[in-house]
Structure 1
Amino acid sequence: MKLSSKFVPIILLIAVSNSYAGSKTVAPSHGINYPIGWQNWSTIAVSHRTDNNTSRVILGNNIAVEAARSGKTNPWPNGSILGKVVWKDTELKDWKAATVPDEFVHAEFMFKNSDKYKESYGWGWARWVGLEQKPFEKGMQVCISCHTPVENMDWVYTHSAKFPE
């Protein structure tokens, strides 16, 4: 297909704009690079924490989603990346029985690589805080300590939601 020369500048502008939009420089967390494009991953589950009034969407890359939907999650396959996106809850103005996401809290990720992350139970743990996505500074051990109750579930709390076929 041959493009008219009048469309080339427009196509280049779109390509350049898209490359900048998806390549915001975010510092690594715990030596792990920020996963570009996670906002387009599929949902694996949702959760709500009543102790701190937060709503969470658990997302996964293609490997994680396939594992979750086929029930092959103990252990999760190498290459799986799980993302948890967290917001503070707020009451829905027009429906008081419902809560909806309000202030964005953080995005956190678990990267499954049994060889690379042997010392952290096969997972690389990373978190970026706030809309600015500042790296979580307290270290991976904080994440591991929180997940100890589910070590027999490959360190993952998520119970995959059932989707109709």
Structure 2
Amino acid sequence: MKTNILLIAVLLLMTGPSVAQQQKAQPAPNGITMPEGYKDWRLIAPSHRSDNNTIRAVLGNDIAIKAAREGKTNPWPDGTIFAKLVWKNRAHEKWPAATIPGDFVHAEFMHKDSKKYESTGGWGFARWLGMEQKPYGKDAGFVQECFGCHTPVKDNDYVFTYPVSLP
């Protein structure tokens, strides 16, 4: 009898979601939450930064993908959300000329709402650090750091990314 109870307990533990799977990332200091299902979004564009040796995948929600495919990206429509997933560069062990994702650095999100985020060019910004997905910033003022970085691309609706061309 004790063996059966132990076996059932072990099976339940093995089939149930892990604690890490159940926990959601805490909201960013400005209240933005990590969008559900973002890992299933489609690619807007990859990018590479040589100054900090990172590669990125910029994903978009359905609104962003539709705008990108239709060439309606300046301005991007309200409701657009970008997810920028960032990894350190790593050389492929079998093909050293190839750069592949190494350690995960952070996930960043941009939410377009021209009224709500009027003071930051119509965009809400959020970032979560590492695999632990720790919210970035001590308080809501961190968005000024993000907005300051994006100001040079004001003429492109504050967006660095250009959607990839597809045949």
User: What is the TM-score of this pair, normalised by structure 1?
Assistant: 0.84
1:154 equivalent to 2:166? Answer no
Distance in 2, Cα, partners of 1:52 & 1:26: 25
Q: Within 5 Å, which residues of 2 pair with 1:99-114?
A: 99-114=99-114
- Tell me the distance in 1 between the aligned counterparts of 2:147 and 2:115: 17
Cα drift, residue 25 of structure 1: 2.0
Q: 1:24 Cα shift?
A: 2.8
Q: Who is 2:61 aligned against?
A: 61
For this pair of structures, how many residues does the alignment match? 147
Aligned-residue identity in percent:
52
Equivalence for 2:121 = 121
Larger radius of gyration: 2
Distance 1:128 1:68 in 2: 25
* Partner of residue 71, structure 2: 71
CA RMSD of aligned residues (A): 1.7
Corresponding residue for residue 35 of structure 1: 35
Q: What is the match of residue 10 of structure 1?
A: none
| Structure 2 unaligned blocks of 5 or more | 1-15
Which stretches of structure 1, 4 residues or more, deviate above 6 A after TM superposition?
none
Query: Which digits, 9 at most, give the CA deviation of each residue in 1:89-117, with x for residues without a partner?
Result: 01111111111000000000100001111
Q: TM-score, normalised by structure 2?
A: 0.83
Gaps of 5+ in 1: 1-15
Alpha-carbon displacement from aligned partner over 1:47-79 (angstroms, at most 9, x marks no partner): 000111100000000000111111100000000
What is the deviation of 1:34? 1.3
Counterpart residue type for residue 106 of structure 1: H
**Distance across 1 between alignment mates of 2:151 and 2:123:** 13
- Structure 2 partner of 1:24: 23
Q: Distance in 2 between matches of 1:113 and 1:145?
A: 18
Which residue is equivalent to 1:97? 97
